[in-house]
Structure 1
Amino acid sequence: MRELGYKGTHIWHRRGYYFTKVFGISFGGGQQQPGNFVHSEAEEKLWDRVRNSPEIKALARRVDYLLACYFPRLHSLYTNVLSDLCQDNPSLQRNWQDCCFASSSLNFGHAVTTRHRDAHNLLFGECAVWNGSSFDYKKGGHLIIWDLKLVIEFPPGCIAFLPSAMFAHSNTSLSKQEKRHSMTFFSASGLFRWRHNNYMSNKDFMAGASRAERQSWDEHRDNLWQTGLDLLSNM
């Protein structure tokens, strides 16, 4: 993984002290429109090899399948929004054709997260986390959901889904000699807003909206909590 700049070194960021790289499509942080994360040529070539490997493609399909099984309405929303965005803007390159998540991160080394929320993800959406490497999951690497006061064993090879923007979460520590790698799958909330606004930002939409459109937009925002509950239902 040296092409990604990973040489066994870790870096501090708001989710913890480990090496991470994010790939895929996002919108936010000053972007004028949805776009792919920008990387060096070497990083892009390596990511192409990683995402097209049989093992990772199978993992992406599995994550998509599980979301469809447990949250079918949410899966439909993710699938339709990503498809619409890519159809509207052919320059967008999705990670996998058969996975509804717009982005994915690779986390290496001692990938143990500190307490955080992923505030830029869809509030009522789900984030998928695949747990890898080899460590004693009875002693460390547990998934902590702080708001629910849950500490969950998270063995290597397992996949967890959680509303990462809603609940604060982290991992318990590992011993210094142990390694934990992970891969996450998620979609930024800005992508859903862009699609809902008929392919424009909130600012641009409100600037050109009629009084009736503004009222409808405000009602939609006020009722998002109910929309989220309906989408989380599997009935």
Structure 2
Amino acid sequence: MALFERALRELGHEGTDLWHRRGHYFTKIFGISFGGGQRHPGNFLHSQKDEDAWIKFSTSEEVVNLARRIDNLLACYFPKIHTLYCNVLDDLCKENPALRRNWEGCCFGASSLNFTHAVTNKHRDFRNLLFGQCAVWSCGSFDYQKGGHLIVWDLNLVIEFPPGSVALLPSALLSHSNTAIGRHEQRHSMTFFSASGLFRWRHNNFMSDKDFCAGASHEERMKWDEHRERLWETGVELLTDM
């Protein structure tokens, strides 16, 4: 809690960080991503003030341990997904040393900090890998039996989510949200995720879909199209084969 409250004081509060499609709460995203008009993978851009606050937060012993714990959870429950995430992030950072991962020993490309009244609207994280996993961790002072539940709409699940809990879910595939908390309660959260664009960039031998298709031979394009059509089978195998 204290680390979140310090980060909340030190981070800049821009309008786009307060109003967004996931809800009305203050959020900041740090790490590596690709999509939304980027020409190549890169780190989210922030002011020096925000970068300093993030470094102070992310290098604290508690947060480093949390990131590694979440990495271990993914490796335990979805080992093939974990291997894929590790390999892609490692390859991207080797190909472009300017990329800065959030933590050594954590396979996720990016993380969001969500502050104070972090209760999300019903949504899917459609820019994440469809069959991938997103990790969500919460903390704060709220009655978890009355609010802050994790709702997974497509599965008709409402799950108590006490402070300190972690959930792994395919956030691009399943609609999810939270139940409300009390007006005077606080709920912070962190999410850990990797954008689907990173995986496409790596699969295309470090180029965008557009650039790959523009330079591909007829045979390469046929193989590329077949891979895309059968990608759901790859996802099922990675999720179910332990």
Same fold (TM over 0.5): yes
Tell whether 2:154 aligns with 1:156: no
Match of 2:184 among 163, 174, 177: 177
% same residue: 67
Which stretches of structure 1, 4 residues or longer, exceed 6 Å deviation after superposition? none
RMSD: 1.1
Counterpart position of 2:58: 51
Question: Deviation at 1:134?
Answer: 1.4
Query: Residue in 2 aligned with 1:219?
Result: 226
SS in 1 for 2:84: helix
- Equivalences, count: 233
- Quote the residue 2:5 is aligned against: none
Between the aligned partners of 1:133 and 1:234, the Cα distance in structure 2 is 36
Match of 2:207 in 1: 200
Alignment correspondent of 2:121: 114
Say yes or no: does 1:229 pair with 2:236.
yes
Are 1:190 and 2:197 counterparts?
yes
Q: 1:209 & 1:27 partners in 2: Cα distance? A: 21
> Secondary structure of 1:131's match?
strand
AA partner of residue 228 (structure 2): R
> Which residue number corresponds to residue 31 of structure 1?
38
Which whole-Å deviations, capped at 9, do the CAs of 1:107-145 have from their partners, x for residues lacking one? 001000000000000000000000111110000000000
Query: Residue 140 of structure 2 corresponds to which residue in structure 1?
Result: 133
Give the TM-score normalised by the residue count of structure 1: 0.97
In 2, are the aligned partners of 1:128 and 1:159 still within 8 Å (CA)? yes
Cα distance in 1, alignment partners of residues 13 and 141 from structure 2: 19
* Secondary structure, aligned partner of 1:133: strand
Query: In 2, distance between residues paired with 1:163 and 1:185?
Result: 12
- Indicate the residue corresponding to 2:91 in structure 1: 84
TM-score, with length taken from structure 2: 0.94
Give the Cα–Cα distance (whole angstroms) in 1 for the partners of residues 115 and 63 of structure 2.
15
The equivalent position to 2:29 in structure 1, one of 22, 25, 40, is 22
Counterpart residue number, 1:64: 71
Take 1:213 and 1:4, find their aligned partners in 2: how far apart are those partners?
Answer: 46
Gaps of 5+ in 2: 1-7
Query: CA–CA distance in 2 between the matches of 1:203 and 1:215?
Result: 15
Cα distance in 1 for partners of 2:182, 2:102 equals 33
Answer whether contact 2:111 2:193 (CA < 8 A) is retained.
yes
